[in-house]
Amino acid sequence: MADEKSRGSDQELAERPARRLAGKDLLGIQGLSVSDIEIILDTAESFKEVSTREIKKVPTLRGKTIINFFFEASTRTRTSFEIAAKRLSADAVNISTSGSSLVKGETLIDTAKNLEAMNPDCIVLRHSAAGAPHLLARLMRVPVINAGDGANEHPTQALLDMFTVREKKGKLAGLKVAIAGDVLHSRVARSNIYGFTKVGAEVHLTGPPTMKPPEVEGLGVQWHNSLRELIPEMDVIMMLRIQLERQGGGFFPTLREYSRFFGLNLEALKKAKPDVLIMHPGPMNRGVEISPEVADGPYSVILEQVTNGVAVRMALLYLLVGGVE
Amino acid sequence: MADEKSRGSDQELAERPARRLAGKDLLGIQGLSVSDIEIILDTAESFKEVSTREIKKVPTLRGKTIINFFFEASTRTRTSFEIAAKRLSADAVNISTSGSSLVKGETLIDTAKNLEAMNPDCIVLRHSAAGAPHLLARLMRVPVINAGDGANEHPTQALLDMFTVREKKGKLAGLKVAIAGDVLHSRVARSNIYGFTKVGAEVHLTGPPTMKPPEVEGLGVQWHNSLRELIPEMDVIMMLRIQLERQGGGFFPTLREYSRFFGLNLEALKKAKPDVLIMHPGPMNRGVEISPEVADGPYSVILEQVTNGVAVRMALLYLLVGGVE
Amino acid sequence: MADEKSRGSDQELAERPARRLAGKDLLGIQGLSVSDIEIILDTAESFKEVSTREIKKVPTLRGKTIINFFFEASTRTRTSFEIAAKRLSADAVNISTSGSSLVKGETLIDTAKNLEAMNPDCIVLRHSAAGAPHLLARLMRVPVINAGDGANEHPTQALLDMFTVREKKGKLAGLKVAIAGDVLHSRVARSNIYGFTKVGAEVHLTGPPTMKPPEVEGLGVQWHNSLRELIPEMDVIMMLRIQLERQGGGFFPTLREYSRFFGLNLEALKKAKPDVLIMHPGPMNRGVEISPEVADGPYSVILEQVTNGVAVRMALLYLLVGGVE
């Protein structure tokens, strides 16, 4: 988190640890400390209950403006942030590329500075260019949340994944977590690798050899050539979305081949631990990286991930934007 | 309405009839009983006044989340639902295809299940495939409202049409209602046929022979080859939008021909009852199925239909989602 | 402002001058009196502070519905209106062309009449056709705000520009204001010419001879062939956006040429007054009509224009829609 946006004295921070994040950015899991992660997950826990009330709304961020600035199509992430903001009573303003003056050739920075001039309290940015949120954050006083930047990071996804695992398993440290599929191009994988290793889990990667990231050794994780051999040991198996448009790019022969070797089906799950968790960041390609039976089966926590996404984003908006106390 | 989502004991229902619809779906007029329709229209009557107040807002659905999930372009229906939700103090979240992860190949069902996982209180769906809302409703706990599905039904349109007629005429039973134009492809026609026949009106259809639905006899309505001959008897004449893209599809020779035989103009209206109501679901093709003089004339209740649409949708959201009492 | 929407007796108006605008349209600066402009700027001054509060929200327009009806892509203007509405506690509903039933061939008027039938309290319209808001305003009871119509006017931009200059200089009368660039095609230029001349400023225009409007003499302003020669005298220099798509249309030889003769850079600014204000309506083409050093330099009030845009639009919504008192 960018230090220059910090506020509050050290003593205050010691007394009210949540204030540590106030005014800062969330650019990636890489920049978070373990205690940052714990604060976020603990706060999310307390917000999760709000979405189950008859009146799903707290006044925490009344009079705050949250801008969802999305340069890539997204249903779940944008909707999740919008719902999170509204359940905190904030005003949510959505901007997507199509309606943006970026079509008129303005730079990302100018557009963002313009938005900042309207006194928002937080900008949530999704962009196809890795590093776009970092660029913005350096130039802006207002907190920036990275909602996915190119193939770099998708930190709110990793936080909701960690939240889901911690809720189900009661801990994160010591767990064995597999991340399987197109690791090379996946920002979800990257953020989860950073996150789960930070909190002391053991991260195992697998996928086609063409989808192995070059820096895997430096990340403190292990690469495996076979998903099948990995399954029996794992507490958590996270299947990545295969981007169908990569087909024909030489990354894998055919979808059928991909599915056979790197897809998760009931047969492959037979040797799994009885309390294994199956995760997927969505959107799923049913029948490709995951079979419908597994996606909808008893080990799957895929929809709970989505539910927890709202809680985690409420927590982040609360912690970064700072509410009425 | 789907029974499995019912709640409340029979005695409660007898005492508070409005609770009968709580938690249910609105998929079509076909599935509604006459008393369901009456409850909806009566409730709409009490909500209509809200939109005429200085402060057009009631706290009824505060803290509820309504998702408008639109797979087809729409101004009036989406806006009407959004305004209805906001006047009830609900949070409205709009999702349209272009911004949807459906572009990434996810199935409708997965997207909907994901939205449901964010704990909305109602999903309003417009989709080009007949039956899409029914599919969703079977799989989801949350009430689904059909905002138009292919050529099947557009039940909220029919409810607002019945509301408008009842308000003007003081009754529905016994009235003679003509529905004229492209009956074959019209979900508006289908829902109104079901609705007006249920409440005891006499429904007459007319249009080019190529646009006569095959099942017309089974619907309890009568087909006529001439709009002109039908006019003198009718209490209500509902003109359907001709979809200009059908031109050249062999359904009618030219727009001029269509207009001459199946368009409504002042000349044709001369023989109408002095208190006839002229309706159109919009958007109108002025000069094709309806002349500007008729659309804007004294018999037209076309804009009142739109006004009543907000009231009917407020009523539905209130009845299905259930508010604070 | 259209007189027929006026309300309140003359005496009331004398006592509470702000009521003069209640219920009227804002179609252009041309139709405003000097005291209308003063009322708007004074009101904006009192609203500006709201956006700097911890809780950036006042209940002024609670229960009002503002429709942002945009037929051209826009980030800043639409977002500015949306934020203005929400900070006044109004419900903002956005409609953009892509999602509009205008794709189905409905006329602008029918769409607008339909929106009006849903009882909104104000319609904000941006349209590529000059005069579109005037057409709407004639036909509708609800106030219409012109958010830019073709090459005609962009009155809210001129009001925020005048607001910014008045705030910085303490006055408007007697100031020398340059407007430089593609004056011919610029609705921003046109509205500012009307505005600054009305309030007694001296307006100077400059740009390529191909971009000189034919009616310049009748506007009470002076045309200059050289920006450089104009600079030393000016209190305010407003650079217009050059529309890159005009390149090749014969309006100027190359971007490099344009930039050299009609762009503003540090070199050209050397002879400027020490308290000159540099303005730009955005989006900027950095390095074309304005150099990055000037855009981000000490004389630039470009981002303050954006901040003031929210205040001016809050003032207009308040004055036209009329709030709870």
Question: Catalytic pick from A19, A20, A87, A126?
Answer: A126
pLDDT (tens digit, 9 = 90+) per residue, B38-95? 999 999 999 999 999 999 999 999 999 999 999 887 889 999 999 999 999 999 999 9
The model carries a pTM of: 0.93
Please tell me the predicted confidence (pLDDT) of residue A105: 57
B222 touches chain C (CB under 8 A): no
Q: What is the pLDDT of residue B16?
A: 54
Name residues whose C-beta falls within 8 Å of residue A181's C-beta, 6 or more positions apart in sequence: A189, A207, A211, A239, A240, A241, A242, A262, A289
Does the distance separating the beta carbons of C53 and A63 come in below 8 Å? yes
Residue C31's contacts (CB-CB under 8 Å, 6 or more residues apart) are C1
Q: Which residues of B touch C106 (CB under 8 A)?
A: 282-284
The model's pLDDT over C151-173, given as tens digits with 9 standing for 90+, comes to: 999 999 999 999 999 999 999 99
**Mutate which of A101, A121, A140 to test chain C, going by most C C-beta atoms within 10 A?**
A101
C255 at the A interface (CB within 8 A)? no
Inform me whether the C-beta atom of residue A98 falls under 8 Å from chain C C-beta atoms: yes
Q: For C46-175, where are the E strands, in sequence order?
A: 65-70, 91-96, 122-127, 144-149
What is the C-alpha to C-alpha distance for residues B184 and B210, in angstroms, rounded to an integer?
A: 8
> Would you say residue C298 has pLDDT above 80?
yes
Residue C56 pLDDT grade (very low, low, confident, very high; cuts 50, 70, 90): very high
Closest CA to A73 of A104, A100, A92, A96: A96
Cα distance from C190 to chain A (closest Cα, Å)?
A: 21
Between B118 and A244, residue with greater pLDDT: B118
Across the interface, of C56, C87, C282, the residue whose CB is closest to A114 is C282
- Contact predicate C278/C264, CB 8 Å: yes
B104 vs A contacts (CB less than 8 Å): 73, 241, 283
Give the nearest partner residue to C114 out of B87, B282, B286, using CB atoms.
Answer: B282
Predicted pLDDT of residue C14 = 46
- What's the pLDDT at B98? 56
What tokens does A278 get?
């199956």
Task: Tell whether ipTM is more than 0.95.
Answer: no
Q: Closest partner residue to A76 among B103, B114, B324, by Cβ?
A: B114
Answer yes or no: are the C-beta atoms of C37 and C167 closer than 8 Å. Answer: no
- pLDDT of res. B72: 85
- Closest Cβ opposite residue C57 in set A62, A100, A110: A62
Is 90 exceeded by the pLDDT of residue C302? yes
B134 is catalytic: no
B-chain CB neighbours of C65 within 8 Å are: 56, 83, 86-87
- Active-site pick, A48, A64, A127, A154: A154
Spell out the SS3 assignment of B104-151: HCCCHHHHHHHHHHCCCCEEEEEECCCCHHHHHHHHCCCCEEEEEECC
Q: How many CB pairs under 8 A join A and C?
A: 91
Q: Which of B107, B114, B115 is closest, CB to CB, to A286?
A: B107
Using alpha carbons only, what angle is made at residue A61 by residues C90 and C316, rounded to the nearest 5 degrees?
A: 25
Interface test with A, best of B106, B124, B324 (most A CBs within 10 A): B106
Least confident of A12-21, B247-256, C116-125, C312-321: A12-21
Structure tokens at A155: 């930190």
Looking at the complex, does the CB of residue C284 fall below 8 Å from at least one CB of chain A? yes
Determine the pLDDT at residue A325: 41
Q: Which of A240, C114, C116, C103 is nearest to B98 (CA)?
A: C103
- pLDDT tens digits, one per residue of C183-235: 999 999 999 999 999 999 999 999 999 999 988 888 889 999 999 999 999 99
C-alpha C127/C-alpha C145 separation (Å) is: 11
Run of H or E including C208? none
Give, in order, the Cα–Cα distances in Å from A131 to each of A138, A149, A150, A188: 11, 6, 8, 15
* Residue A118 one-letter amino acid: M
Distance CA C255, CA A115 (A): 28
Catalytic annotation, pick one of B43, B60, B65, B77:
B77
Residue B9 in contact with partner chain A when CB distance is under 8 A? no
Asked whether the beta carbons of residue B99 and residue A75 sit closer than 8 angstroms, the reply is yes
> Three-state DSSP class for C258?
helix
Assign B218 a pLDDT band (cuts: 50, 70, 90). confident
* B neighbours by CB contacts (3+ pairs under 8 Å): A, C
**Residue B96 sits at the chain C interface (C-beta within 8 Å):** yes
SS3 A2: coil
- Give yes or no for residue B10 having a pLDDT over 80: no
Residue C17 pLDDT > 70: no
Mean pLDDT score of chain C, rounded to an integer? 90
Give Dmax over CA atoms of chain A in angstroms. 59
Give mean pLDDT, residues A118-137. Answer: 95
Identify which has the larger pLDDT, A72 or A265: A265
Query: Quick one: which of A157, A34, A15, A84 has its CA closest to A320?
Result: A84
Instruction: Report how far apart, in Å, the C-alpha atoms of C85 and of each of A131, A157, C56, C65 are.
Output: 33, 32, 12, 9
- Give the separation between CA C149 and CA C74, rounded to whole angstroms: 13
A77 is catalytic: yes
Query: Do the Cβ atoms of C119 and B244 come within 8 Å?
Result: no
- B63 in contact with chain A, both atoms CB, cutoff 8 A: yes
Cα distance between residue C38 and residue C32, in whole Å: 10
Q: Using CB atoms, which residue from B53, B73, B244 is nearest to C99? A: B73
CB-CB under 8 Å, A119 with C310:
yes
Distances in Å between the Cα of B206 and the Cα atoms of B79, B151, B173, C1, C33 are: 31, 17, 21, 47, 56
**Averaged confidence pLDDT in chain B:** 90
Instruction: Report residue A18's pLDDT band, with 50, 70 and 90 as the boundaries.
Output: low
B245 pLDDT more than 80: no
Band (B36; pLDDT cuts 50, 70, 90): very high
The 10 Å CB-count burial string (b at 16+, else e) for C45-83 is bebbebbeeeebbbebbbbbbbbbbbbbbbbbbbbbbbb
Q: What's the DSSP call for residue B287? A: T
Question: Which of C 119-158 lie inside 8 A of B, CB atoms?
Answer: 119-121
Name residue C41's amino acid: L
**How high is the pLDDT of residue C120?**
98
CA distance, residue A114 to nearest chain C CA (Å): 6
